[in-house]
Structure 1
Amino acid sequence: MTTTTKDKNKKIHQGRNIKRFREMLGMKQDALAFEMGEDWNQQKISLLEQKETIEKEILQRLSEILKIPINAIESFDEESAINIISNTVNNSDTATGNSLYNNYPTFNINPVEKWLEALDENKKLYERLLETEKQLVTSEKEKVALLEKLLDK
């Protein structure tokens, strides 16, 4: 891959990259602020994500929290990434004759096993219900017997 003069002069927006990585990880600004320390809050994270360049120390801390290399934050360019992905997908699809739409999802969960587990759980719940019902009937019979004794006296 060749780097053009245009690519070298392109400024990477580090704050936007922080936001992208944070969102990809499903982390809220509040949670990131909490991880950054007591001097940080949601508003400060929001302002940080608007900055084009971020101080090295802060980048280091964010890198540790997000578990992302600093150079990823400093150099990630969405446009370039999309181009690479687009070219990779198109090239591999035409080379192998595969289409993105022919890929079928695989599941680690066997639906039959899950169904059998659910049936087993239902059976256990039903048995507990019957046991409780037996206890209630026995209790009611004892109450009736006690009332009959009281009436006889």
Structure 2
Amino acid sequence: METKEHTSRNTHHGHAVKRFRHTLGKKQEALASEMGLSQALISTYEQRKVLSDDVIERFAKALNVAPELIKELEEDPVTFIIENNTFENGSVSNIAITNDNENFSNTYNPIEQILALSKEKTTLYERIVELEKEKNALLEKLLKEKE
């Protein structure tokens, strides 16, 4: 049953690495120099759906996140579409044109709300990463106290 749940999950290791890199504000070149790789290789890894465990470990160490986060971060189709498209202000307005060639402005712009939700989601992921760091620090402290 666990295998069935795992196969139904929509994960993409490369996209997870890219999302964490974007969240941290790092460019591919900076990450590549930290890891001793080329920028082109980082780009190639970010396009792969499945990465080997040792590669995930290296990325996790460079991005200072738990490897499980990279392995288990699920794809969000809406976020993926928004991240890979560019919207300009007004690109959605003036959609409807009547027979008289009168333009109607769209006062309700759902794209802006979707982008706001995407930013909120990014903020939540950043908070998850912070909490994970705090948890790791606490666990390390507890281990040292036991010794």
Q: Which has the higher helix share?
A: 1
Q: Relative CO higher for 1 or 2, CA cutoff 8 Å, sep ≥ 6?
A: 2
User: Normalising by structure 2, what TM-score?
Assistant: 0.46
**CA radius of gyration, larger in:** 1
